[in-house]
Chain A
Amino acid sequence: MMDNPYVPYIGRLVDIQPLGTGIKLFRFQFDDAQLADQFDYRPGQFAFVSAFGVGEAPFGITSVRGVDDTIDFAVAKVGTVTRALHEMRPGDRVGLRGPMGNWFPLDEIKGKNVIFLGGGIGGAPLRPVITSILHDRDSYGDMTILWAARNPNLLVFTSEYDTWRQAPRTQLHLTVDEGDAGWSGNVGLITQLLQQVKPSPDNACVIICGPPIMIHFAILELQKMGFASEQIITTLEAKMKCGIGKCGRCNVGEKYVCLHGPVFTHSEIKDFLESFV
Chain B
Amino acid sequence: MNFVTHTQLREWLGGLMAERSVIAPQRLQPDLVVYRAVDSTDEIAFDFGRAALSPKEFFLPATEAILTIERVRQLIAGDDGEAQPDWQIRLTDHELTRDQVLFAIRPCDAHALTALDALLLKEPVDAYYARRRQRTSLIGLACAQMGPTCFCTSLGFTPDDRQGMDVMLYTVEGGYALEVLTEKGQAVTAGLQSTPYSERLPEREWPPAQISVPPRSVWLNAFNDPYWGELADRCLSCKICAYVCPTCRCFDVRDYTVAQAPGYQKIERLRCWDACMADGYRRIAGGHNPRPEKAQRLRNRFYCKFEYYPADFGPLACVGCGRCIDNCPVNVDITEVLDAVRARS
User: Are chains A and B touching in the complex at the 8 Å CB cutoff?
Assistant: yes
> Which one, A4, A53, A247, A254, contacts B251 given CB within 8 A?
A247
The chain A residues found within 8 Å of chain B, CB to CB, are 1, 3-8, 10, 50-57, 76, 78-82, 91-93, 95, 211-212, 237-239, 241-242, 244-249, 251-254, 256, 259, 273-277
Q: How many A-B residue pairs have CB under 8 A?
A: 128
Is residue B267 contacting chain A, with contact meaning CB distance below 8 A?
A: yes
Cβ contacts under 8 Å, B89 to chain A: 10, 52, 93, 95
**Contact of B286 with A241 in the complex, beta carbons under 8 Å:** no
25 pairs from A and B in contact (CB 8 Å cutoff) = A6-B66, A6-B126, A7-B91, A7-B93, A10-B89, A50-B69, A52-B89, A54-B254, A78-B285, A212-B288, A238-B282, A238-B290, A239-B284, A241-B253, A242-B251, A242-B253, A244-B124, A246-B126, A247-B253, A248-B250, A249-B250, A252-B290, A253-B308, A254-B308, A259-B312
Is residue B304 contacting chain A, with contact meaning CB distance below 8 A?
A: yes
**Contact of B283 with A1 in the complex, beta carbons under 8 Å:** no
The chain B residues found within 8 Å of chain A, CB to CB, are 66-67, 69, 71, 84, 86-89, 91, 93, 119-120, 122, 124-128, 220, 223, 249-255, 257, 265, 267, 269, 274, 276, 281-286, 288, 290, 296, 300, 303-304, 307-308, 311-312
**Separation in Å of the B270 CB from the closest CB of chain A?**
10
**Contact of B220 with A277 in the complex, beta carbons under 8 Å:** no
**Separation in Å of the A121 CB from the closest CB of chain B?**
9
A253 closest partner in B (C-beta): B308
Cβ contacts under 8 Å, B125 to chain A: 3, 5
The docked-state distance in angstroms from the alpha carbon of A251 to that of B91 is: 30
**Contact of B290 with A7 in the complex, beta carbons under 8 Å:** no
> Which one, B67, B71, B281, B300, contacts A6 given CB within 8 A?
B67
Cβ contacts under 8 Å, B91 to chain A: 1, 7-8, 10, 95
Cβ contacts under 8 Å, A79 to chain B: 284-286
Main secondary structure of the interface of A (DSSP, over half): loop
Cβ contacts under 8 Å, A53 to chain B: 69, 71, 255, 257, 265, 267
**Contact of A55 with B253 in the complex, beta carbons under 8 Å:** yes
A273 closest partner in B (C-beta): B223
The docked-state distance in angstroms from the alpha carbon of A79 to that of B254 is: 13
**Contact of A52 with B71 in the complex, beta carbons under 8 Å:** yes
**Contact of A4 with B127 in the complex, beta carbons under 8 Å:** yes
> Which one, B67, B220, B274, contacts A7 given CB within 8 A?
B67
**Contact of B254 with A3 in the complex, beta carbons under 8 Å:** no
